[in-house]
């Protein structure tokens, strides 16, 4: 039976100058994960360095199982080593990633090393440094559901139905790697469960009927899942409770519990939260949630937690959201990067609308050591990680592909890049659970407007003076 374990205990840390070797055992000190080494010395918040982490652990390795190591967030330019062997790297400090470490493990004592690198200036805000979000060890059979491989979309069977007498279609795609197994021998059991724990819909689906997943899409995953396929199921919910922002109703949501069976034996189970809601963006009238017109009363919310640094603490994040709610805030833009997954869990539960943002720069840098160094090669992998991880959250209404991006106004390259980013977003959210958007403070410029004309939903930073003029010029734009 597959299992997922929190892998945050027993880590040690050592900070050395950039590029220098670690001091062996005597140089490491115990730390708790999540861990932000930058916040420890508030008198030296611009210290450069290579932060090295190590964790020793014992495992009884089983040949028929796979072992995945999953990082929710590591800042930044990280490299992972398994028993002294380089295993993989990940450049961006905000997107989640994972590696299949099966072949690097031995039966018995093992050691993981993670190197993080911080050089300044790398951001326009406090970034933090290190393994500042949770780490997980996932143990599963060779035939398994892919990481973030469940995609749920909900739709009214008739858009004109009244809420109290409505039937919703819940479309579920489950990506499975059969790794040489016969799909005919596998079955999915799908249960849709309300907040009270009651099963409101249930279905069994044979894995014998499946669709191939494009090589392009699979090539963007951090591990080799060649040959994975997608199994499809349609369920219905009668008169479901809808997910709402807190200011207009209750944020009701459901759990989709999926069990994978081999010859009637359960080998894996996954649970994903989703919600039934409709979102409309109309140029003349604004935003409608479940047919109701509402204003986004939002804030730009950076990832740090003040004196706690970049380490994510659910209780502190919930406290912050409660304060924002008391101020009347109903929407958040995750400025200017992917948030911790637990923040979206809280937004689902508390009824905050979210503009889920990815980048503060593309290929043109804003600071010497920012992510622009890696964007041309790595952005498509970050988008895959971002959308796959967050695509089922009912709180997410927009995918922001960038904030105040130099490329959008400097030259025509911005047009090429925004097209590529939109295509990447829609590759992983083809049914558009959320809409692509961009935030810009360059909207007075011709090139920035050309980019907005492609994406059609544009946030104007510090440019209220342009609202009326641009609305007259671009009747099909949604401006906010």
Give me the pLDDT at residue 32, please: 95
Contact (CB, 8 A) for 414 and 361: no
Which stretches does DSSP call E strand in 314-395? 331-333, 353-357
Mean pLDDT by 10 residues, the chain (480 residues): 96 96 87 96 92 97 96 98 98 98 98 98 97 98 97 87 81 94 95 98 96 95 94 97 97 98 96 98 97 96 96 98 98 98 98 98 98 98 98 98 96 97 98 98 96 98 96 97
Q: State percent of the chain over pLDDT 90.
A: 94
Distance CA 220, CA 230 (A): 16
Residues 32 and 133: their CA atoms lie apart, in Å, by: 11
pLDDT at 24: 79
471 Cβ contact list (under 8 Å, min separation 6): 283, 477, 479
pLDDT tens-digit readout, 215-234: 999 999 999 998 899 999 99
Task: Give the list of residues 6+ apart from residue 294 with CB closer than 8 angstroms, or none.
Answer: 245, 247, 248, 287, 288, 330
Q: Say if residue 121 is preceded by a cis peptide, omega within 30 of 0.
A: yes
Q: Strand 144-156: give its sheet, edge to edge.
A: 144-156, 167-177, 229-238, 211-212
Task: Give the count of beta carbons closer than 10 Å to the beta carbon of residue 458.
Answer: 24
- Residue 159 has a pLDDT of 66
Distance, in Å, from the CA atom of 275 to the CA atom of 290, rounded to the nearest integer, reads: 12
The pLDDT value recorded for residue 99 is 98
Residue with tokens 């005919």: 184
The pLDDT score that the predictor gives to residue 163 is 63
Are the C-beta atoms of 115 and 129 separated by less than 8 Å?
no
The pLDDT assigned to 329 comes to 98
Distance from C-alpha of 408 to C-alpha of 414, rounded to nearest angstrom: 4
Containing 260, the helix (H) or strand (E) segment is strand 254-262
- C-alpha–C-alpha distance, residues 13 and 60, integer Å: 25
Residues 47-73 pLDDT 10s:
999 999 999 999 999 999 999 999 999
Instruction: Identify the three-state secondary structure at position 82.
Output: strand
- Reported as half-sphere exposure (CB side, CA atoms, 13 A), residue 293 has a value of 5
What is the C-alpha R_g of the chain?
A: 23
> Is 127 within 8 Å of 302 (Cβ atoms)?
no
How many other CB atoms are there within 10 angstroms of residue 240's CB atom? 24
Residue with tokens 């929190």: 6
- Sole residue written with tokens 């734009």: 477
User: What gap in Å lies between CA 153 and CA 341, rounded to an integer?
Assistant: 19
Q: What is the pLDDT of residues 125-163, one digit of tens each?
A: 999 999 999 999 999 999 999 999 999 999 998 766 666
Q: What is the pLDDT of residue 62?
A: 95
Please tell me the number of Cα atoms within 13 Å of 458 on its side-chain side. Answer: 31
| Inter-residue contact 104 to 82 (CB < 8 Å) | yes
pLDDT at position 269 is 98
> CA–CA separation, 68 vs 63, rounded Å?
14
């Amino acid at each position: 039976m597959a299992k997922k374990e929190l892998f945050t205990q027993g880590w040690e840390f050592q900070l050395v100058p950039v590029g220098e070797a670690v001091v062996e055992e005597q140089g490491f000190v115990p730390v708790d994960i999540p861990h932000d080494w930058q916040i420890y010395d508030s008198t030296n918040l611009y210290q450069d360095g290579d932060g090295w982490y190590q964790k020793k652990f014992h495992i009884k390795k089983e040949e028929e199982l796979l072992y995945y190591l999953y990082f929710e967030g590591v800042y930044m330019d990280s490299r992972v080593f398994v028993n002294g062997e380089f295993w993989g790297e990940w450049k961006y400090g905000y997107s989640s990633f994972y590696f299949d470490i099966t072949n690097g493990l031995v039966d018995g004592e093992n050691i993981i090393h993670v190197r993080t690198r911080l050089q300044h200036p790398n951001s326009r805000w406090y970034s933090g440094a290190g393994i500042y979000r949770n780490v997980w060890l996932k143990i599963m059979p060779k035939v398994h559901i892919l990481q973030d491989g469940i995609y749920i979309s909900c739709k009214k069977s008739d858009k004109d139905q009244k809420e109290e007498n409505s039937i919703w279609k819940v479309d579920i795609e489950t990506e499975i790697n059969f790794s040489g197994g016969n799909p005919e021998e596998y079955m999915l059991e799908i249960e849709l469960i309300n907040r009270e724990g009651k099963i409101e819909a249930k279905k069994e689906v044979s894995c014998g009927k499946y669709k191939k997943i494009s090589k392009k899409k699979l090539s963007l995953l951090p591990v080799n899942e060649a040959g994975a396929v997608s199994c499809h199921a349609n369920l219905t919910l009668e008169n479901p409770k809808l997910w709402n922002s807190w200011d207009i109703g209750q944020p009701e949501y459901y759990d989709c519990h999926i069990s994978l069976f081999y010859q009637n034996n359960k080998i894996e189970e996954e649970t994903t939260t989703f919600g039934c809601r409709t979102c409309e963006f109309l140029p003349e009238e604004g935003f409608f949630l479940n047919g109701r017109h509402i204003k986004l009363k939002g804030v730009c919310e950076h990832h740090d937690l003040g004196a706690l640094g970049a380490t994510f603490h659910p209780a502190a994040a919930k406290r912050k959201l409660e304060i924002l709610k008391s101020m009347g805030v109903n929407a958040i833009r995750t400025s200017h990067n992917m948030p911790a997954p637990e923040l979206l869990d809280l937004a689902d539960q508390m009824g905050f609308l979210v503009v889920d943002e990815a980048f503060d720069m593309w290929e043109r840098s804003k600071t010497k050591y920012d992510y622009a160094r890696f964007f041309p090669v790595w952005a498509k992998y970050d988008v895959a990680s971002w959308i796959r991880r967050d695509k089922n959250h009912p709180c997410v209404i927009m995918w922001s592909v960038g904030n105040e991006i130099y490329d959008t106004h400097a030259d025509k390259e911005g047009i090429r890049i925004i097209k590529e980013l939109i295509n990447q977003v829609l590759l992983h959210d083809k049914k558009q659970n959320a809409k692509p958007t961009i935030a810009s403070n360059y909207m007075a410029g011709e090139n920035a407007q050309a980019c907005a004309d492609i994406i059609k939903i544009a946030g104007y930073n510090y440019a209220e003076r342009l609202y009326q003029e641009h609305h007259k010029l671009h009747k099909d734009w949604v401006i906010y």
